[in-house]
Structure 1
Amino acid sequence: MMECCYIKEVVKGFFSLCTGMRVTMGNVFTRPATVQWPRESAPLPDRFRGHIMMLADDATGYPKCIACTSCARNCPSQCIIVTGKKPEGAKKKMADRFELDFTKCSLCGLCVEICPVGALDFSRDYALASYTRNDFTTMDLLQELGSPF
């Protein structure tokens, strides 16, 4: 009686092993779904939303932002701080401080949509890594573009 149960379990285990090997052999010759980052990068979808970035004016090279603060007022996360002043000899006010707290940002896109001059857009950068959270609490978006101040 004991031998019958033992043989039954061995046969059951053998069929289970064959099922697993069939799945394994079926996937051996397929392309891997992952990439070896950072040596390779996966293609980004067209509608990918990275962090918010400031766009530069093509003529001057300075940020397009006119410091109207409509992005900061309409942000549901309250993660944008904008201040501005008018440079000497300029017709428009310009932002002298534009900070984004990326730890609070929900990437909803309201700031990008509401901007009257099109100064904000989503970046294509997804490789944001840091050892501390504080590196993302004050992302100065004007730092990369320069400022007339």
Structure 2
Amino acid sequence: MGLFTAIRDVLSGFKSLLIGMRITGREAAKPILTVQYPRETLKMPARFRGHIQLILDPETGKPRCTACTLCEKACPSECIDLDGLRREGDKKKSVSKYMLDFTKCSLCGSCVEVCPSDAIEFSKQYNVVSLGREQFAQMDLYAKVEAEAQAWAAAHPTPPAPPTPATPQPAVTPAASIAPKAS
């Protein structure tokens, strides 16, 4: 009985080996789907959700955020902390601090949906890494968008102010042009 069991186990193992070799051979013949990551990257799908980011107004180069705090109130994870102020010459408040605790963010999108000025969107960054969790607990989104605003301002210089008109001088007509012509 022992010899029969041993032969049956060897044949069963050999059959299993052949099945595994067949699967390996079939998969080896298929085209390569792996992306060589550091040298190549995948294009992120349109619906990919990275962490949130503030958006610049393309006309003014300033953040669109009006510091209404609706996103802060709508966040179920309580991971947004923002503050704003009314700058001189502006009609609306503007954001002066926007902190995101990405360790608590569930990427639910409530903040993006509730924003009345469309000032928040999901980023397409998928390889956000760090050696410590502290960098994700206090992500300063305002500092990032402020740097983008400065780059925008450098790329779009303001036109010089029109010259102030001088005091108008009365038109002087030469006496020769006034004299009657002799015929």
Counterpart CA distance in 2 for 1:28 and 1:135 is 42
Q: Deviations over 1:52-84 (max 9, x none)?
A: 000001122110000000000111011111110
5 Å-filtered alignment, 1:8-27, equals 8-27=8-27
5 Å-filtered alignment, 1:1-149, equals 1-146=1-146
Q: Is the 8 A contact 1:112 1:120 kept in 2?
A: yes
Q: Which runs of 5+ in 1 are unaligned?
A: none
What is the aligned length?
148
Q: Percent identity?
A: 47
Q: Bigger relative contact order, structure 1 or 2, given CA contacts below 8 A and separation 6+?
A: 1
Report which of the two has the higher share of helix.
2
Q: Deviations over 1:112-137 (max 9, x none)?
A: 01111000000111110000000011
Counterpart CA distance in 2 for 1:29 and 1:42 is 23
In the superposition, the TM-score normalised over structure 1's length comes to: 0.91
Counterpart CA distance in 2 for 1:61 and 1:111 is 22
Q: Secondary structure at the match of 2:36?
A: coil
Q: What value does the CA root-mean-square deviation take over the aligned residues?
A: 1.7
Distance 1:43 1:59, change over 3 A: closer
Counterpart CA distance in 2 for 1:61 and 1:109 is 25
Counterpart CA distance in 2 for 1:110 and 1:4 is 67
Q: Is the 8 A contact 1:61 1:145 kept in 2?
A: no
Distance 1:29 1:43, change over 3 A: farther
